[in-house]
Structure 1
């Protein structure tokens, strides 16, 4: 009995010891949890200041020169080419005769039509006199008059066909393609030659949606090419497409004066510089300051070595800088590097 009593006392002592130890451990844990948090660590960042500056639009594109005009001279009527009066590379003027088809058939047609018209004209005079003497009916006179008018139209058609044997240059320029030789039979619509007019050259480039709203028709454009290092050509925007293509680009055409002995040739690779300064002063920051996309733009602003996340509204992006329309003031300092480690209220140190 005494032994059982002693074992009970030992058991109670052990339980008490375990309870005491658990209580001590809990107090130690609570003490650690209630300790003051460690001081915030300053995160190194790079910064830039929001500044106002005169806006400079910098747009440079590449393109190829095309002729101001490229026109095909076509045979108007069919026939054998009786003469070809041009050679490849010739300079021709608008309206200049390039070739003639055999005119003999059309000359005969004209003679026949004129003879028929003359006979009907005499018949009309005769029947008109007979009508006055009541020796002919009005219906007969009307029929002869209509036949005569039809014959006059046949004369006009024959004259036109005879004139159409002459093939003329539809524009001034250089013969770039000679498609025929004398003696060849051609049908109406057959290509005789291709004429390229390089008194002006045309440059076609594509602009993005952001870029196209920064240019206007009539704007002066600087054109350069590797073919003539250091030489500048001056162009003018002649067309801006009102419709974007499937890649959301807009076609823009520039006319370049090329009258000085046509120094620029079709197909030459060129650079078109749309860059210009505007009179508008805008607030800008570096593009890398944005924490998200341009559509959901926000930046970290540094004040007293602490950052605040601010939403902003942006405008144009030009030469690595982006326009700030609202949300920032000139002089405010924004983080440009190290944003990934930041959150609202983070302490920062500015690195150079």
Structure 2
């Protein structure tokens, strides 16, 4: 009985050895597969396709100032007797700011009044002489008609009458002249009191009591007054390469060194046409309005601003390094798979645009027929011997030696593509209503004018070319669409062999 347990344990021991062997072989296979996969993955440097926002901004510097600054000067010369306001004082329209010695103008007014009185006395004398001349002329005229006096006496009486009338007119003119001169002096006397033309804050004061101002050639500047500091403006100098993207109404964020921990906001109010050329660098002034209700910002501060020219929310974006990567094995031409991907990418974009139009059954059928005809033509073109296909076959091929086609060639290609799509979808477009047709035309023009490039997605440890359409970029990441999804790994470079 003691030998039976030993005979029963032998099958169990064999089974255990078999299980351990299978597990060891499986673990070894898993280890080698993972090591090979890691080796393949470690060959490439990659970045992940992300879902997020892209903000495109233009940087510029400028200076804060009041929206309206009024310079107060003096129209007359004289010695300043009183200065009634100082820096940063708030003033109201009509408030007295300073006074100039009025004594010389008061003396001129008294002198003018005396001259007016003298001119009026001369007028009275002339009027008396005129009455005497009129009576003498009347008398001699009657005597002349009866031939009791000589004809020459009548003529002399008429001349004396005309002379008396001229003297009266001259005296009257002298009165008017002296009156006008005195009125001018009275105006200058009022100008000896310098008043504020607006409500605002005194920014600068350039005079002191006892100082003499001279206004012989131009009005001397006495004060500068900021009309309203609750609303301010920034004049930014934007480079000519960026000015085409700036439009009124765009948002602006800016910082000032005086308030380094705060960020302020503004709005583009005006893009001025007065270009400035400094050392062959052309810039355009852009005026930004800023709300300064809390009075934090001060005139004259230098600001660093960013104008938000574009913003794309919740889009696919990739690092720009993935767009620059090109396999070392290519000869500069775009891979055939990528060329096909470009065509299929456009077709997929067109399908998405058509789906957004809410097509009816007949409209959808017309669209599907146009897409099928395009795909059949592309397949025939790809099946044709190299060099025998139609001119459109080179539509996505880069120039010899790689790189982008020249601008003129690219423009011609886009025009041919746009015309081709218009012809291909003519029947489909005719089935659309006015609103749908407008959106379709805009979508086609946008797709044709879009820039496309090839990126390389890591698939099964190997880079796979994918043609994508690129959009807005912030200098670090770029919006992409077509053939990719969030989480895909794109190749940015190759690791050196160890």
TM-score class normalised by the smaller sequence: 0.5 to 0.7
Unaligned runs of 5+ in 1: 1-42, 340-352
Cα deviation code 1:8-40 (max 9, x no counterpart)? xxxxxxxxxxxxxxxxxxxxxxxxxxxxxxxxx
Assess if the C-alpha contact under 8 Å between 2:276 and 2:282 holds in 1: yes
Structure-2 residue corresponding to 1:3? none
Question: Cα gap change, 1:243/1:101 in structure 2, threshold over 3 Å: closer, same or farther?
Answer: closer
Cα deviation code 1:196-221 (max 9, x no counterpart)? 45343322323334543333224443
Question: Cα gap change, 1:249/1:98 in structure 2, threshold over 3 Å: closer, same or farther?
Answer: same
1:155 matched to 2:311: no
2:308 to 275, 279, 289: 275
Q: 1:176: how far off?
A: 3.8
2:290 to 256, 260, 264: 256
Structure-1 residue corresponding to 2:341? none
2:271 to 240, 245, 248: 240
Aligned length: 295
SS at the partner of 1:249?
A: strand
Provide the C-alpha distance between the structure 1 equivalents of 2:482 and 2:247, rounded to a whole number of angstroms: 31
Q: 1:127: how far off?
A: 3.9
Provide the C-alpha distance between the structure 2 equivalents of 1:119 and 1:293, rounded to a whole number of angstroms: 93
Instruction: Between 153-162 and 192-201, report the one with greater CA deviation.
Output: 192-201
Equivalent runs, 1:1-352 vs 2, <5 Å = 46=46, 56-121=55-120, 123-124=122-123, 127=126, 131=130, 134=134, 135=161, 137=163, 138-188=165-215, 189-197=219-227, 198-209=229-240, 211-225=242-256, 227-228=258-259, 233-246=264-277, 247-260=281-294, 262-275=295-308, 286-288=319-321, 289-290=323-324, 299-300=453-454, 302=456, 317-322=473-478, 331=484, 337-338=492-493
Cα deviation code 1:321-347 (max 9, x no counterpart)? 4578xxx955499976349xxxxxxxx
SS at the partner of 1:274?
A: strand
Structure-2 residue corresponding to 1:6? none
Question: Cα gap change, 1:54/1:192 in structure 2, threshold over 3 Å: closer, same or farther?
Answer: closer
Provide the C-alpha distance between the structure 2 equivalents of 1:219 and 1:293, rounded to a whole number of angstroms: 32
Higher helix fraction: Structure 1 or Structure 2? 2
Instruction: Between 293-302 and 143-152, report the one with greater CA deviation.
Output: 293-302
Q: 1:99: how far off?
A: 1.4
Higher strand fraction: Structure 1 or Structure 2? 1
Provide the C-alpha distance between the structure 1 equivalents of 2:273 and 2:201, rounded to a whole number of angstroms: 33
Structure showing greater relative contact order (alpha-carbon pairs closer than 8 Å, 6 or more residues apart): 1
Instruction: Between 297-306 and 250-259, report the one with greater CA deviation.
Output: 297-306
TM-score normalised per structure 2: 0.47
Structure-2 residue corresponding to 1:40? none
Cα deviation code 1:145-204 (max 9, x no counterpart)? 332332222122111221121122344443344333222322223443344453433223
Question: Cα gap change, 1:232/1:44 in structure 2, threshold over 3 Å: closer, same or farther?
Answer: closer
SS at the partner of 2:210?
A: coil
Provide the C-alpha distance between the structure 2 equivalents of 1:315 and 1:140, rounded to a whole number of angstroms: 90
Assess if the C-alpha contact under 8 Å between 2:255 and 2:304 holds in 1: yes
Assess if the C-alpha contact under 8 Å between 1:299 and 1:335 holds in 2: no
Question: Cα gap change, 1:87/1:248 in structure 2, threshold over 3 Å: closer, same or farther?
Answer: closer
Assess if the C-alpha contact under 8 Å between 1:218 and 1:236 holds in 2: yes
Question: Cα gap change, 1:129/1:54 in structure 2, threshold over 3 Å: closer, same or farther?
Answer: farther
Provide the C-alpha distance between the structure 2 equivalents of 1:164 and 1:293, rounded to a whole number of angstroms: 71
Cα deviation code 1:115-157 (max 9, x no counterpart)? 3234434544664575466345343333333323322221221
Structure-2 residue corresponding to 1:345? none
Q: What value does the CA root-mean-square deviation take over the aligned residues?
A: 4.5
Q: 1:104: how far off?
A: 1.0
Provide the C-alpha distance between the structure 2 equivalents of 1:90 and 1:59, rounded to a whole number of angstroms: 38
